């Protein structure tokens, strides 16, 4: 039951990987376009291979398609080679399943997973021939709705979206669709629909709100425009699923033909995290930590493997070792799947005796590496960021692993964290050196399988909304590079320098990401400007053009000094304050103060800190009470 391709053979033959655009994958869903009431285009604003790796998109796709009156299809960004051809030949962006133009749909949902995809959002609206600004869209134009983690602060994209869905997608989409249908049936206008939608919990319609600014550029007030006063909520409550077992899980995910970056079945065991690292946005906005039951996971693991034929199953969560039934789950998976030759992959495990034992069962020890993410080089700084991993943990874990035959270690750190000194930076090198020395002390010469290989990677700290560090400044790119330089030199000065490889992220990208993460709606102008000057695929190192960004920033009234390099006042109104994440600003302030005092906060399992997320009535907050 294929669709007539939107692109002729002539074009498909002239571009890279044409199968990105032809659809028809196994488990993709075809419906009769005349038999559905709502057509929803679900878009991941990056390349097919990236978007198809994303679980959240598959969840919404299957959830919406469960309903007979909705046909949800997929859309991805178009690589520049095809983009140019489509622009020249005036071919509008189309959805994969029906190959129909997206502009003829009822909804275009765009998932915002990382800030560096923002220019792609404009690029695809433009290619879809949809007016870029929400205010220019007419009654029969598609409703553009944004979702995903970046809606923690949607303001930099405010003018481009009709609405944002703030929070987890499983809660109010059906309700929103019903309102849309009812409005359409009575011939209601776009504005009427938007107003009704604005009253659905979690739905934010940016055009109904406005910010008033102080002379110095900070926000004086933010709230509904006068004409909407009393008609729309003052605060948007972030949506959180109370019980993950009660929600939708895609048991028949679409299997991409073109190899996706994550080319495997994915089982989300938990959402959220109990640990509360102070730099981590996911750790706050996905509170409380919620688990899926063992029965649920067993059942879905089987379904998914049977329905996809994947040869690999990956368990995902922010910290899989914290899953309370991890041993039972692994036991089941190994028994169930080993004869079917299904590999189990286990990212984000804490290294201890137990996890090493499991890893040695499911991975090739000689090829796999140990991963630690201490994030900071000294205990002092780890206390500041509340990263509950100590040097002893790392050394003990490593020693056990060396005995087990591992000789590759990956270490992840951040540079530029609040209160960081040169000692903290050098501490990264010293910790790496200790691990190397430990290897040579532990493993006798005749048992060594070559040198130890340590890879140290650093990213630059980017303060994010809804974290205790949301007020913190960033450094200039040069300062970041000096820090990376200091670390590099320290590593090179040590005995085992030849066993340690060091790589660091691009400082300029980090600064722009910092701008987009904490910007207000005036930053939209910069995004538009840089897009008009040809930027797209900024998440791709080869495509990111810092100079273009700097030129656009220079043309705007407020620049990096205001948005990135400035320490915000604790009492300042932040652009995302109107979102209620369940964790009040007061808690963040307390955590911030504790960070500066180098005091740690126990994780949710040890002791509840009363962060506020218990309002969502689920998860860890109710597991270990009494």
Partner 1 sequence: MKIRIKFTKEEPVKYLGHLDIMRFFQRCFNRAGVMMQYSEGFNPHQKMSFAMPLGLGITSSGEYLDCFIEDGQNLEKIKEDMNKVSGDGFRVISIKELKEGAIKAMAAVAYASYDVSVCKEIPSEKVLEGAEAFLNTESYIVLKKTKKREQEVDIRPLVKELSARDNVIRMTLSAGSEDNVKAETVAKAVFDLMGIDYQREKITMNRLDLYAEGMIPLEDLDTISP
Q: Which residues bind ligand SF4 (CB under 6 A)?
A: 287-288, 604, 608-611, 613-614, 620-621
* 244 token code pair: 């993950």
Nearer to partner 1, 2 or 534 (CB): 2
Dist CA 433 CA 545 (whole Å): 36
In sequence order, which ranges of 35-75 are alpha helices (DSSP H)? 48-51, 55-65
Decide which of partner 1, ligand SF4, none touches 270; Cβ closer than 5 to 8 Å per partner kind.
none
Q: How far is the CB of 13 from partner 1 (least distance, A)?
A: 5
- Residue 179 has a CB neighbour count (10 Å cut-off) of 18
| Least gap, CB of 622 to ligand SF4 (angstroms) | 8
Give strand ranges (E) for 173-275: 203-204, 209-213, 219-224, 236-237, 265-268, 270-271
Q: Of ligand SF4, partner 1, none, which one sits near residue 186, judging by CB under 5 to 8 A according to partner kind?
A: none
Q: What is the dihedral of CA 212, 214, 216, 219, to 10 degrees?
A: -50
Least gap, CB of 416 to partner 1 (angstroms): 39
Nearest to 394 by CA among 379, 415, 416, 414: 379
580: enclosing H helix or E strand: strand 579-580
CA 222 to each of CA 116, 161, 169, 212: distance values in angstroms, whole numbers, following the listed order:
26, 18, 26, 6
Residue 19 vs 593, nearer CB to partner 1:
19
Q: Based on DSSP, count helices (H) and strands (E) in the chain, helices before strands.
A: 20, 19
Q: Are 514 and 564 in contact (CB under 8 A)?
A: yes
Residue 587, SS3? helix
Which of 149, 162, 120 has the alpha carbon at shortest distance from 530? 120
- Using DSSP, state whether 38 is helix, strand or coil: strand
259 binds, among ligand SF4, partner 1, none (CB under 5 to 8 A by kind): partner 1
365 versus 613: smaller Cβ distance to ligand SF4: 613
CB of 453 to ligand SF4, least distance (A): 38
CB of 22 to partner 1, least distance (A): 5
Nearer to ligand SF4, 395 or 614 (CB): 614
Provide the minimum distance between the beta carbon of 10 and partner 1 in the complex, in angstroms, as a whole number: 4
> What are residue 265's DSSP bridge partners?
313
Binding stretches for partner 1 (CB under 8 A): 1-3, 5, 8-10, 12-13, 17-19, 22-26, 255, 257-259, 263, 305-311, 340-341, 343, 364, 367
The smaller minimum CB distance to partner 1, of residues 336 and 545, is found at 336
Q: How far is CA 161 from the centre of its chain?
A: 19
- CB of 272: closest distance to ligand SF4 in angstroms? 8
To ligand SF4, the closest distance from the beta carbon of 318 in angstroms equals: 13
Instruction: List the structure tokens of 525.
Output: 């102008």
**Residue 614 contact, options ligand SF4, partner 1, none, Cβ 5-8 Å cut-off depending on partner type:** ligand SF4
> Could you tell which of ligand SF4, partner 1, none binds residue 316, using a CB distance below 5 to 8 A set by kind?
none
| Inter-residue contact 605 to 624 (CB < 8 Å) | yes
From the list ligand SF4, partner 1, none, pick the one residue 23 interacts with, judged by a Cβ distance below 5 to 8 Å according to partner type: partner 1
| Nearer to ligand SF4 among residue 11 and residue 613 (C-beta) | 613
Residue 382 interacts with, from partner 1, ligand SF4, none (CB under 5-8 Å by kind):
none
Inter-axis angle of helices 326-337 and 294-308, to 10 degrees? 30
Of 171, 170, 200, residue with least CA distance to 183: 200
Q: Residue 109 or 288: which CB sits closer to ligand SF4?
A: 288
Task: State the minimum distance, in angstroms, from the CB of residue 565 to partner 1.
Answer: 47
Beta bridge partners of 423: none
Distance in angstroms (rounded) separating the CA atoms of residues 469 and 452: 36
| Binding partner of 311, given partner 1, ligand SF4, none, CB within 5-8 angstroms per partner class | partner 1
Specify the residue, 219 or 608, whose C-beta has the smaller distance to ligand SF4.
608
Least distance from C-beta 459 to ligand SF4, angstroms? 26
**What's the closest the beta carbon of residue 26 comes to partner 1, in angstroms?**
4
Q: Which helix (H) or strand (E) holds 425?
A: helix 422-442
Nearest-angstrom CA–CA distance, 163 and 207: 8
**Binding partner of residue 287 among partner 1, ligand SF4, none, CB cut-off 5 to 8 Å per kind:** ligand SF4
Smallest distance, partner 1 to C-beta of residue 249, A? 19
**Token duo for residue 212:** 């008033």
Closest CA to 51 of 107, 131, 121: 121
Q: Of these partners, ligand SF4, partner 1, none, which one is at the site of residue 534 (CB under 5 to 8 Å by kind)? A: none
DSSP readout, 312-373? EEEEESS-GGG-TTHHHHHHHHHHHHGGGT-EEE--S---SHHHHHHHHHHS-TTT--EEEE
**Partner whose binding site includes residue 620, from partner 1, ligand SF4, none (CB under 5 to 8 Å by kind):** ligand SF4
Query: Cα–Cα distances in Å, from 528 out to 120, 217, 406, 577?
Result: 11, 20, 49, 24
Kindly tell me which of 82 and 200 has the beta carbon lying closer to partner 1. 82
CB of 287 to ligand SF4, least distance (A): 4
Instruction: Rank residues 258 and 614 by Cβ distance to ligand SF4 and give the closer one.
Output: 614
Q: For residues 207 and 239, which CB has a smaller minimum distance to ligand SF4 in the complex?
A: 239
Selection from ligand SF4, partner 1, none that 604 binds (CB < 5 to 8 A by kind) is ligand SF4
**Nearer of residues 290 and 426 to ligand SF4, judged by Cβ:** 290
The residue among 310 and 406 lying less far from partner 1, judged by its C-beta, is 310
| Among ligand SF4, partner 1, none, residue 49 binds (CB under 5-8 Å by kind) | none
């Amino acid at each position: 039951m294929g669709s007539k391709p939107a692109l002729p053979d002539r074009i498909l033959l002239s571009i890279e990987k044409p199968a990105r655009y032809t659809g028809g994958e196994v488990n993709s869903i075809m419906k009769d376009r005349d038999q559905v009431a709502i057509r929803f285009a679900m878009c991941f604003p990056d390349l097919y291979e990236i978007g198809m790796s994303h679980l959240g998109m598959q969840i919404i796709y299957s959830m919406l398609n469960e309903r007979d009156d909705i046909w949800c299809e997929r859309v991805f960004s178009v690589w520049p080679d095809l983009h140019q051809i489509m622009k020249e030949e005036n071919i509008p962006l189309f959805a994969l399943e029906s190959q129909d133009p997206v502009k003829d749909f009822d909804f275009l949902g765009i998932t915002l997973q990382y800030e560096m995809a923002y220019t792609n959002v404009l690029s695809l609206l433009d290619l879809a021939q949809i007016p870029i600004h929400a205010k220019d869209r007419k009654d029969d134009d598609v409703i553009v709705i944004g979702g995903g983690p970046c809606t923690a602060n949607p303001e930099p994209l405010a003018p481009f979206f009709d609405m944002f869905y703030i929070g987890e997608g499983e809660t109010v989409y059906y309700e929103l669709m019903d309102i849309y249908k009812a409005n359409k049936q009575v011939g209601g206008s776009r504005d009427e629909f938007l107003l009704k939608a604005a009253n659905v919990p979690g739905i934010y319609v940016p055009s109904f709100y406005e910010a008033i600014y102080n002379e110095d550029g900070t926000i004086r007030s933010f709230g509904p425009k006068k004409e909407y006063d009393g008609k729309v909520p003052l605060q948007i409550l972030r949506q959180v699923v109370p019980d993950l077992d009660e929600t939708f899980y895609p048991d028949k995910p679409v299997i991409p033909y073109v190899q996706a970056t994550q080319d495997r079945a994915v089982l989300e065991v938990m959402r959220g995290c109990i640990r509360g690292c102070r730099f981590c946005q996911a750790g706050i906005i996905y509170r409380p930590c919620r688990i899926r039951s063992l029965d649920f996971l067993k059942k879905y693991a089987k379904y998914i493997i049977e329905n996809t034929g994947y040869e690999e199953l990956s368990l995902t969560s922010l910290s899989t070792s914290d899953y309370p039934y991890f041993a039972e789950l692994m036991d089941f998976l190994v028994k169930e799947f080993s004869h079917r030759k299904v590999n189990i992959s286990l990212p984000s495990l804490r290294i201890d005796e137990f996890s090493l034992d499991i890893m040695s069962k499911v991975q090739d020890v000689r090829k796999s590496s140990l991963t630690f993410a201490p994030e900071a080089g000294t205990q002092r700084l780890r206390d500041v960021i509340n990263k509950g991993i100590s040097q002893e943990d790392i050394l003990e874990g490593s020693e056990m692993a060396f005995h087990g035959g591992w000789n590759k270690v990956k270490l992840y750190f951040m540079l530029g964290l609040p209160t960081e000194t040169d000692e903290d930076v050098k501490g990264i090198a010293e910790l790496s050196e200790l691990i190397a020395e430990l290897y040579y002390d532990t493993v006798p010469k005749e048992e060594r399988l070559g040198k130890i290989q340590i890879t140290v990677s650093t990213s630059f700290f980017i303060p994010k909304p809804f974290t205790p560090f949301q007020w913190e400044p960033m450094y200039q790119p040069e300062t970041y590079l000096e820090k990376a330089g200091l670390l590099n030199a320290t590593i090179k000065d040590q005995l085992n320098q030849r066993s340690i490889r060091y790589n660091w992220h691009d400082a300029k990208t980090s600064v722009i990401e910092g701008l987009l993460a904490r910007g207000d709606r005036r930053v939209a102008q910069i995004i538009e400007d840089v897009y008009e000057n040809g930027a797209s695929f900024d998440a791709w190192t080869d495509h990111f053009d810092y100079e273009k960004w700097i030129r656009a920033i220079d043309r705007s009234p407020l620049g990096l000094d205001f948005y990135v390099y400035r320490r915000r006042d604790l009492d300042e109104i932040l652009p995302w304050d109107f979102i209620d994440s369940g964790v009040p600003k007061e808690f963040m302030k307390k955590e911030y103060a504790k960070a500066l005092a180098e005091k740690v906060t126990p994780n949710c399992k040890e002791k509840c800190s009363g962060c506020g997320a218990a309002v969502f009535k689920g998860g860890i907050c109710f597991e270990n009470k009494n």
